[in-house]
Amino acid sequence: MPRIENADSRDAEHWATLWAASLTELAVFALTPDGFISTWNPGAAAIYGYTSDEIIGKHASILLPDDLHEREEFESEFHRAHEKGSSVTEGWRKRKDGSVLWASIVTTALVDANGTLLGFAKLVRDESEKRKAHEAVIGSERRFRLLVDGVSDYAIFMLSPDGLVTNWNNGARRIKGYTAEEIIGSHFSRFYTPDDAAAGLPQRALEIAAREGRFESEGWRVRRDGTRFVAHVVVDAIRDDSGTLLGFAKITRDVTERREADKLLETAKAELFQAQKMEGIGKLTGGVAHDFNNVLQVLRGNLELLQSRCARDQWTMARLGNAIEAVERGATLASQLLAFGRRQALRPEPVNLGAMVRGADDLLRRALGETIEVETVVAAGLWNAFVDGHQLENVLLNLAINARDAMPDGGKLTLELANAMLDDSYVRSFSDVPAGQYVMLAVTDTGCGMSADVLEKAFDPFFTTKPEGQGTGLGLSMAYGFVKQSGGHIRIYSEPGHGTAVRIYLPRTSADARGAVTRLNAPAMGGTETVLVVEDDKTVQGTVIAMLADLGYNVLKADNADQAIAVLSSGVHVDLLFTDVVMPGTLKSPEMARTAVQIQPHLRVLFTSGYTQNAIFHGGRLDPGVELLSKPYSHKELAYKVRQILGREGQPAEVAADVHPANTSGVSDPLALEVLVVDDNEPTRDAVRELLLMLGHRPTTVPSAQAALDAVANASFSVLLTDVNLPDMSGIELANRVVLLHRDISVIFASGDCIPDDERNDFIWQALRKPYTLDQLQAALRKAAEDDV
């Protein structure tokens, strides 16, 4: 409203009333010089809530909230308006209902021509919504600043268009190490490595952000103390409404731990894939090795039997020797496959690795030759390792030979032994390596080394860099499988032109190491005990029987576990159960062995297999008390192991006249007897038949009493050897009927129970109490022959 001059109070008031009545968005009202409301327009009624009748005549202070500051400001409005003609201000005002509004207020003084104050005109606009929006912006900005300053995981700071730091949050201080006072005003390139700064990377980041609006990357950055970290960086360009570049907002996050975690995760995935791959191949190779070793066993057994017959034929002996060498190479290959697949039957024990390595020194020097220097370094206070020492010697020899091949012009091989601790941070990326104490064996050469590609595949089976025919590619994979099966860890460190180091970590044990086992080169020893061979492969079975018979043993056979139990239950005395681990049928070999020992408590058990399939070893170790002869084994190894199990020295094996000697008991029988064997159990009949053949007699076997009567009616027999319990009649009743037909026949009852003395028995008879020994059977037959004479 313009200042009103040259009018009396009535004209001014009338003019103001007409003008104000036309406004509805503004509160327009007049005040007397002492502050009482004299006019009130519709806009004022809408804003304040008072009608004109309610407000006119009231003092304007009714519109003020209960705030001393606002009342003081209200009084000053009038003074400024009177002195200067008008006053513009903003402040809180109160409505009729007690609510408040933010008002934009213009107060104009009304004077006449003489300068006499006639009153005041007020224009009031409700700016509450604008005030709320303004406060929201202020509050948001305040909260944003507090948030940015309180963030500690991110460095958030601003840059001028030329890259100078203009502000700095607490996260930036924590991550980069600078205080705001130290860094504001300096160029942000100081955070880059010298090489990156020299290459212009800071300026390139700003150029890309200015051109595209944002720049994002990861790279190395430098802290105040000179240490480096991996940073994830985002740079955003900031422009005004006209597009002018005002500067840059920069957010930096330390992702060093994340990158290390990602790297560990990738390593763990690779290790898991490798473990799963080797596990799958291990299962495959295990099954193949079982069948392969059976074939090798047949070949080796028969070749050695032939050698025992052709000792005077040098040409034949040479060829047989070549064939046996080929079998041994095949056996080594199968053994390496099983080692790689972690399917070896290990027998770990406390071992002093220092003594073991020193004991293998001569062997290593012979294998390496004179051009390679061997140095052994053993740390003081070396712990004992829990490992299969014999298999570890094979691994050491393989690694030494690999080192020799990597040094064709000579070099140095270092064997190092030391205590080692693999902590949590080291084993984090290995899924199958527990943290703890280990004994470390390092084999280091000065050879040609390996490239990264070769190193990545070094443990893969059949991978080799040697020319065709000069390596199987199983040496390192065999070492890997053995170490893993032993609960250890193995790593290769290599660089082309700088040699290779293979480090093996084996579990530590606090138990005392056992003394070294001396291997005696003694002749094969045989014996006269009875061995029950349980083997489902007929060819392998025949070969083993021939080898044992050649050593002088009495041999019985069974095709499966059920037949073996039947033989042992028949009463035949057996000294040794020699059984394959992997057998068909529901009754597995370990259960069969336990049952066998219950039937004949004196029985000794020896397992054999080319692949144990976890049946008699768990956790990579042979079960306690289990004896195993791995296929393929030699004639000498078989002889040594059998004598070791039976527990006493036997007699030197002699070349027999035939692979199935007619009499191995050492006692000469006066004549061969025709023996009728009656038993309803087929394996028992077969076992007794084999024993009778060994003793030089001629057995006929039948399954029932009726079949025995039919046989007696058609042929003549010297001896009736019958079980007492038969399905169609008792053995006693059968004997009475047979004697009626042949008065001169001798009767032998075989039973696990006492033989009842039937009053009808008017013939001479003998009893064999099951289980009976071969000597007891022979004695009964000898007496029968004497009675017949």
Share of the chain above pLDDT 90, in %: 23
Same CATH topology for 349-509 and 674-788: the answer is no
Lowest-confidence segment of 273-287, 436-450, 757-771 by average pLDDT: 273-287
206-221 pLDDT, tens digit per residue, is 999 999 999 999 889 9
345 pLDDT more than 70: no
**Pick from 187, 186, 236: which is nearest to 209 by CA?**
236
**Pick from 1, 4, 6, 45: which is nearest to 19 by CA?**
1
140 pLDDT more than 60: no
- Most confident of the following: 84-98, 127-141, 285-299, 753-767: 84-98
Q: Given this model, what pLDDT does residue 518 score?
A: 44
Structure tokens, 148: 């940015």
pLDDT mean over 249-271: 79
Q: Given this model, what pLDDT does residue 659 score?
A: 34
CB 561 within 8 A of CB 588: yes
9 pLDDT more than 80: no
Separation CA 605–CA 616 (nearest Å): 12
540 pLDDT more than 80: yes
Q: Given this model, what pLDDT does residue 202 score?
A: 92
Q: Given this model, what pLDDT does residue 669 score?
A: 45
154-189 pLDDT, tens digit per residue, is 788 889 999 999 888 888 888 888 998 899 999 999
Q: Given this model, what pLDDT does residue 657 score?
A: 32
Q: Given this model, what pLDDT does residue 621 score?
A: 56
143 pLDDT more than 80: no
pLDDT mean over 298-313: 78
Read off the pLDDT band of 147 (50, 70, 90): very low
Structure tokens, 462: 């059949």
CB 774 within 8 A of CB 530: yes
Q: Given this model, what pLDDT does residue 215 score?
A: 93
Q: Given this model, what pLDDT does residue 663 score?
A: 37
**Pick from 595, 570, 576: which is nearest to 771 by CA?**
570
Separation CA 504–CA 489 (nearest Å): 6
| Lookup result for tokens 């209960």 | 66
Separation CA 206–CA 242 (nearest Å): 20
Read off the pLDDT band of 50 (50, 70, 90): very high
Q: Given this model, what pLDDT does residue 583 score?
A: 77
CATH no. of 525-652: 3.40.50.2300
Q: Given this model, what pLDDT does residue 474 score?
A: 67
The dihedral formed by the CA atoms of 461, 462, 463 and 469, expressed in degrees to the nearest 10 = 160
pLDDT mean over 95-102: 91
424 pLDDT more than 60: yes
Provide the sign of the torsion angle of the four alpha carbons 7, 10, 12, 15, taken in this order.
Answer: negative
pLDDT mean over 93-107: 91
Q: Given this model, what pLDDT does residue 761 score?
A: 66
558-613 pLDDT, tens digit per residue, is 988 888 988 888 878 899 999 988 777 778 888 888 889 888 888 999 988 765 55
Lowest-confidence segment of 116-130, 131-145, 180-194, 448-462 by average pLDDT: 131-145
651 pLDDT more than 60: no
767 pLDDT more than 50: yes
Lowest-confidence segment of 106-110, 274-278, 368-372, 547-551 by average pLDDT: 274-278
Which residues are 350's β-sheet partners? 386
CB 54 within 8 A of CB 44: no
What mean pLDDT, rounded, does the chain reach?
Answer: 80
109 pLDDT more than 80: yes
Q: Given this model, what pLDDT does residue 7 score?
A: 43
Read off the pLDDT band of 515 (50, 70, 90): low
Per the model's pLDDT, the better-predicted residue between 457 and 87 turns out to be: 87
CB 621 within 8 A of CB 347: yes
CA distances for 357 relative to 18, 305, 368, 516, 528, angstroms: 119, 37, 15, 12, 41
pLDDT mean over 531-546: 88
Q: Given this model, what pLDDT does residue 135 score?
A: 67
CATH no. of 151-254: 3.30.450.20
> What ranges do the domains of the chain cover?
9-126, 151-254, 349-509, 525-652, 674-788
Separation CA 723–CA 678 (nearest Å): 6
Share of the chain above pLDDT 70, in %: 79
CB 639 within 8 A of CB 524: yes
Q: Given this model, what pLDDT does residue 80 score?
A: 85
Q: Given this model, what pLDDT does residue 754 score?
A: 62
CATH no. of 674-788: 3.40.50.2300
Q: Given this model, what pLDDT does residue 328 score?
A: 75
Read off the pLDDT band of 281 (50, 70, 90): low
Structure tokens, 75: 């009084």
CATH homologous superfamily, domain 9-126? PAS domain (3.30.450.20)
Domain 349-509 of CATH type 3.60.15.30: no
